[in-house]
A and B are shown apart, each in its own frame.
Chain A
């Protein structure tokens, strides 16, 4: 694999905006590090509320990601492999949560899964289950916002995969489901992993839909982003510490997963 690297001067017209863009993305993170109360950091890290929120964040983001994989991979397959009328519309609908302000997503979730919602009222009357203000509600809100990331990533991987392997499996007598599990899935596994990582990161940072749909209660629905926002109301230093933890955890986990599954470039 030899690549011809053309050693040319980088045009200033591209280098300057690229540098500015990089600075713009990195500077706020640097600000967080510079303003962090390093001396009181160890004491603040061990405050019980911090660990509770962190654990809840990690758990809900992981469960939400699993939910997204279970539902999102088949959806991506449908969009990439099956011709059906209105496919473009379905694809557009799938990406709506991507562009929807998360708070609006939270309100929409309340109107459907809330105690008075379309499905929520039935759930309440039939099973006595209400989703708002529960940890399950947090998972639901996170999955709603994060699933499009997974679907788009997996659909892209499916479209990029060579269809001849699947055709070969079909000619050898494999049904569509067998082909999917034995040929397609292993083929696009890196794409699924990349999508899941994106999905997890989005779920971990979810704020708007969560506070709107699941409310805020420590240990039950107060995830790290909510804790950061509320800490900001009174204690800027605490908010910085919480932000730093969230930043560190997500960067470490994403870096680890990237090297392991996604393959760094």
Chain B
């Protein structure tokens, strides 16, 4: 008698579980099972887009909340490998993502979310008349770059080398927002930053240059192994990779991933 009861209960539980998974795998990504907090570590250049996507995600998933930690991707990667509590990592370069996957802190293969390209950011109206990378080497033109340790700096180094320009920057900032801040404060005349950063910053113009095509950054995103809320983390990644999410990202100036 008792055995039969237990069997019945197990069967009911199994059916319930199957039903739930079926439901989660179907068209409806939203559901009560992905509620709860999600902590996202993301590259500084994703600040504006992800903040907006986080709000949209919270609206679409009642009971959920998204917390962001934006910063230089390499520093974020170090924090993650040192055990920082994060559910999702979105990096500005495959190299910084590799730090995390090599340490075994990611689940599965990272997916390429978007790509980003460098531009020369100048104050509106381009008072220093910067037309390309070569102008940045002119005497009297102060330039802020990212440090080579972070992705925007590595990309800047590649682009500058590709252009064959000998450039002595005024400062090498710890992330792209630092370089941008020095420009917005008027302390430098130009900064090599991502196209998306210029779009997000009022009062700045972007000067495109051909060599930036040599230094396009892929932005990989992955759910972390130590995620406290794996279901929520997966749902967030799916959300930003959905058509609606990509629309927000491309509107910010990112390029859709290759073949995506």
Chain A residues within CB distance 8 Å of chain B: 110, 114-116, 132-133, 211, 214-218, 221-222, 229-234, 236
Contact = CB atoms under 8 A, between A and B. Distances in A.
B78 A236 contact: yes
A234 B91 CA distance: 13
Contacts of B182: 132, 215
Contacts of A115: 186-187
B104 to A, nearest CB: 16
B186 A234 contact: no
Interface of B: 72, 74-75, 78, 82, 142, 144, 147, 149-150, 169-174, 178, 182, 185-187
A233 B171 contact: no
If over half of B's interface residues share one DSSP class (helix, strand or loop), that class is named, otherwise mixed; here it is loop
Contact of B174 (A114, A214, A233): A233
Given A110-B187, A115-B186, A232-B78, A216 B173 contact: yes
A104 to B, nearest CB: 13
A232 B149 CA distance: 9
A133 B147 contact: no
Which are the 4 A-B pairs with shortest beta-carbon distances?
A215-B171, A233-B74, A233-B149, A116-B186
A60 B144 CA distance: 22
B72 A233 contact: yes
A126 to B, nearest CB: 17
Given A215-B170, A221-B171, A230 B187 contact: no
Contacts of A233: 72, 74-75, 78, 147, 149-150, 174
Contacts of B74: 233-234
Given A110-B187, A216-B147, 9 more contacts: A110-B185, A115-B187, A133-B187, A215-B170, A216-B171, A217-B169, A217-B171, A230-B174, A232-B78
B78 to A, nearest CB: 6
A116 B182 CA distance: 11
A217 B170 contact: yes
B169 A211 contact: no
A234 B74 CA distance: 6
Nearest to B182: A215
14 contacts: A110-B185, A114-B185, A132-B182, A215-B171, A215-B172, A215-B173, A216-B147, A222-B172, A230-B147, A230-B149, A230-B174, A232-B78, A233-B72, A233-B147
| A115, A116, A215, most chain B CB atoms within 10 A | A215
Contact of A116 (B149, B173, B185): B185
Nearest to A229: B174
Nearest to B72: A233
A229 B74 CA distance: 11
A214 B187 CA distance: 10
Given A221-B171, A230-B149, A132 B187 contact: yes
Nearest to A226: B174
Contacts of B174: 211, 216, 229-230, 233
B89 to A, nearest CB: 15
A133 B170 contact: yes
A211 B172 CA distance: 10
A115 B169 CA distance: 16
Contacts of B187: 110, 114-116, 132-133, 215
B24 to A, nearest CB: 37
A116 B186 CA distance: 6
Given A232-B75, A233-B75, A233-B149, A114 B186 contact: yes
B123 to A, nearest CB: 11
Contacts of B171: 133, 214-217, 221
